[in-house]
Amino acid sequence: MPGMRGELRPWGHARRWLRDRATERVVALRRSRCRSCLGTHVLLPVVTLGRRLDLAGVIGAALVAKAAGVGHRRVAAALGLPRTTVRGWLRRFAARAELVRAQFTALAYALDPELTPITPRGSPAADALEAIGVAARAAARRLGPAPPWSFAAGASGGRLLATQANTPAPLVAVR
């Protein structure tokens, strides 16, 4: 965990609702406890984002559809989700787009220093999505294939849609 100095030890399980499109299910997630500060943490699977019910792939599909010019009502109807949920994702991503673009661009070049320049797409959100896609492809070449939104969730530490616009997403260190 960022900022933690102690060792994380198993500390039972937590229950959490997860939704993939319109299917909801309860999953048991591992909980850990820091030996030095005694704080507990729920360990999220890489397919999720922090404080979000829906899986990263569902949220990513909504972001891509919006970049293609589809409105939030049509995206929500296609995904079978409430309009307010989808609108919230789109607004949160738009607020963080420049930060996400900068961080995923840096990660892409760390994964593949020989990349050509990333092509701007015309809006901050579209540019951020392009950077995520380029970084995901660079990671797949270097580390092996993985679903792009699982990569984005993992590389951002689950904070791709963090609630504070100025909270940077911790990117995976590449050596």
Question: What is the distance between the alpha carbons of residues 73 and 79, in angstroms, rounded to a whole number?
Answer: 10
69-111 tens-digit pLDDT: 999 999 999 999 999 999 999 999 999 999 999 999 999 999 9
pLDDT cut 70: percent of the chain above it:
90
Which pLDDT value is given to residue 173? 52
Residues 41-79: pLDDT tens digits?
888 899 999 889 999 999 999 999 999 999 999 999 999
First to last CA, the chain: 19
Query: How far apart are the C-alpha atoms of 45 and 41, rounded to whole Å?
Result: 13
Secondary structure (H, E, C), the chain: CCCCCCCEEEEEEEEEEEEECCEEEEEEEEEEEECCCCCEEECCCCCCCCCCCECHHHHHHHHHHHHCCCCHHHHHHHHCCCHHHHHHHHHHHHHHHHHHHHHHHHHHHHHCCCCCCCCCCCCHHHHHHHHHHHHHHHHHHHHCCCCHHHHHHHHCCCCCCCCCCCCCCCCCCCC
Residues 13/6, Cβ–Cβ less than 8 Å: no
Q: Is the pLDDT of residue 167 over 80?
A: no
Stated pTM of the model: 0.86
